[in-house]
Every structure is written in C-alpha cells, then in structure tokens.
Amino acid sequence: MSGSSRQLPLAGIKVLELGQLIAGPFATKLLGEFGADVIKIEPPETGDPLRKWRKIEDGTSLWWHVQSRNKRSVTLDLRSAEGQAIVRQLAAEADVIVENFRPGTLAAWGLGWETLSTLNPRLIMVHVSGYGQTGPYRDKPGFGVIGEAMGGLRYLTGQPGEPSVRVGVSIGDSLSALYAVIGTLLALQERQRSGLGQEIDVALYESVFAMMESLIPEYAADGEIRHPSGSALPGITPSNAYRCQNDDFVLIAGNGDSIFKRLMGVIGRDDLARDPALAHNDGRSRQATMIDAAIEAWTRQHPREHILKALDAARVPAGYPYTAADIAQDPHYQAREMLQSLTRPGGKPLTVPGVLPKLSATPGRLGNGGPALGQHTEDVLDELDIDQETRTKLRQAGII
C-alpha cells in the first residue's frame, strides 16, 4: 500500500509531536502514514527512550522503525528557554500538536494551551495522559499498564482464582492513540467550519474503559461484577479455546444461533442442535459448561488441522493463536499487504506491519524506517529561518 504525498488525505497538515514512547507517538505515526508532516521533537543525545526498547539492531530498536516511520526528527532541549522559543515558532505554524507529558508540564515551560493557542488560534492540541487533564488523579504518573488496570481490563484477563495477567502488548497506549487520532480528525473537520482549533483530552484509563462493553450497565442494574473467565466469553456461548488431540488449541466461536446448529452437526451432537432450550444464546449460556465439554470431547479426538478444515467446511468461525512465525507465513496477510518491507537508515530492509485503514482512493504510505536522532534538525531550522550563528550557539549549549 502506498501513495504519493499529493494523494494522501492529510497532506499539508503539519503535526508537532512533543512526547515519547508509545501513546502520543503512535497517534502521530498514524497521522504521518496518511500524509501529515510529523515533526518529532527529541532530547539531544538521548532521544526518545523507545529507540532502546525491545530488540536492538545496529544500535536502534526494531520497534522504532514501526513507531517512527514518516516522521522528521529534530533534537531540542524543551527545558531551555531557547528550545521553548523554537517550539513556539513551530506551534505558530502547526495544525496539530500531540503531547503526552504529565499534565501541567508544558504549561510550566511556557508551552501550554493558553500560550500556544494565542499564537495560533487554528491550533489543535491533543493531550494524552494517564488520567486526563482534570480530576483528582491528574498529576499522578500513568503508564499504559496502569490505565489497563484502572480501566477494568486487567482484572478480567487471566484464569479464575489466579493473579491477573497483562495483555502481551501495550494495548492501553495504543487504544489511547486511536482516540487521539479520532479526536484530531474531528477537530480538523470542525475547524473547517469555525476556523478555530481546540484541545483534545485523552486519558489512558478512559480509552480502556470505553472498550469494556456491558461491564458497568450490568453492575448498575444488578450489582453484578464480571470476573476473569480464562479463554471463555461469559454470556456468549459457545466461544472458547478447546484442546486438540496433539495438545494444540483451537478457538471456536459458535455463538450464532444457526452457527451453533452447524457446529453441533460437525461434532456429532445433533441432539444439542435440536434442543429448543439451546436455540438461542441466553439458553446456551446457562449450559455453557456442558456445551464446552461436548465440543472438547470432539476436538480431543482430532489434530488441529483436521478440526479447522471440518469447521471451515461447515462455515463455523474457528482459528488458533498465531505466533509471529504464523503471521509471517500466512498467505492472507500477504494478499492483504499487511506485511511490507521498508528501508532503514543504512539501506537494510525490514518487514513491518502494513498501513491501516485501507482507503481505496488515497491509501496511506509506508515510507522509510524511523529517522536517525536529529536527522532533520537542520531542515526544520531552515524552514524557521534560524541563522547559522544562532544554530552554532544552540549547538554549543547542547540545546539542539
């Protein structure tokens, strides 16, 4: 999937990224994939800590080349008066600022909303933080895993009676990034009508909480507290993981009424398919243990591939937990262009996830790998007409 800058829907939109690690930078990654000019501000010498997270190759995190593609890296000390002045110059020309510092940090540096919106009334400022810009917890530090816990997800993840486990990726940060992008697009649309920008306040815990379906309505109506359920999905039956003959697992989602009947036919339990008490989900959910046992009695007799073929032939949704190797070898991933190659600085190729969502007329761009630290500092200073003498002083002072 690729597109020239002229074809991309956010071409001409300038985004200033003030932040690090995951939530804010993931949001700007998405904006950059669809044409926005993303200027990423990083601390001199050290850069974004993500450069050193997870697996490192040639001195740089492989994750970095996913998270920071299509961005321009500018080194700038935001704690210095001179660095703050440059940010104000950038903000005066920017359409969007995305920041994920602790609330109040930018204001203390003279870079808060009141200051920057006065310089640029069309500016859209996106705040991503653990607990939001208001409320009694606003000043507490918050990472994605804490947001996942407070949002209700962590308690539900794991086996009943055992310690909760985390999702294997930073899902709280990523969900917050998606809400940040949605807010940005909504604000850009509103700006077309009013000519004015606005603030967007995204909290990690709220982004997770928004995914929790009927958790609160069930508690509000009946005092019911949802508890961990392992691989099952309580109240939606059957939907679970079932052990196969060779100790692999298969995931089966047979919870549609007609799908359930076809599933029962495959496993040789036409008696359950005909049982009027099991015709609909509410009745099946009352008999979930019995139904799951009947399904697993069948799956334990067969290897996983046999089970998947039989269920696919009967149009019953089924699959298995993919590893990275499974994803890399899957023909559907290839056909959908979800595995693409980009070029890292130095010319090395790297396979990375493709661009989402898929637009038919103006698809997003993959671009190159994440930039070297400060790779675009000179270019951006050129755009701001900062003279060479000033740059030399800034460099000598360690500000750029």
Question: What is the token pair recorded at 373?
Answer: 């630290």
- Calpha distance 117→94 (Å, rounded): 11
Catalytic residue status for 37: no
- Side chain identity, residue 366: L
* 8 Å CB contact between 90 and 119: no
Which DSSP symbol is given to 340?
E
**3-state DSSP helix/strand/coil % of the chain, to nearest 5:** 40, 15, 45
- Phi/psi of residue 397, nearest 5 degrees: -85, -5
Q: Which of 89, 96, 81 is nearest to 119 (CA)?
A: 89
**How far does Cα 161 stand from its chain's mean position?**
29
Cα dist from 132 to 19, 31, 201, 215, 331, whole Å: 15, 22, 6, 21, 42
Cβ 134 vs Cβ 207: under 8 Å: no
DSSP 360: S
- DSSP, collapsed to helix, strand or coil, labels residue 33 as helix
Catalytic residue among 37, 173, 201, 292: 173
CB atoms within 10 A of CB 138: 17
* CA torsion angle 364 368 374 378 (round to 10): -80
Beta carbons of 158 and 165 less than 8 angstroms apart: yes
**Cα maximum dimension of the chain:** 86
Q: Tokens in use for 198?
A: 């606005």
Beta bridge partners of 201: 127
* Residue 20: its H or E element: none
Half-sphere exposure of 381 (CA within 13 A, CB side): 21
Q: Would the CA dihedral through 55, 58, 62, 68 be positive or negative?
A: positive
The residues carrying an active-site annotation are 173
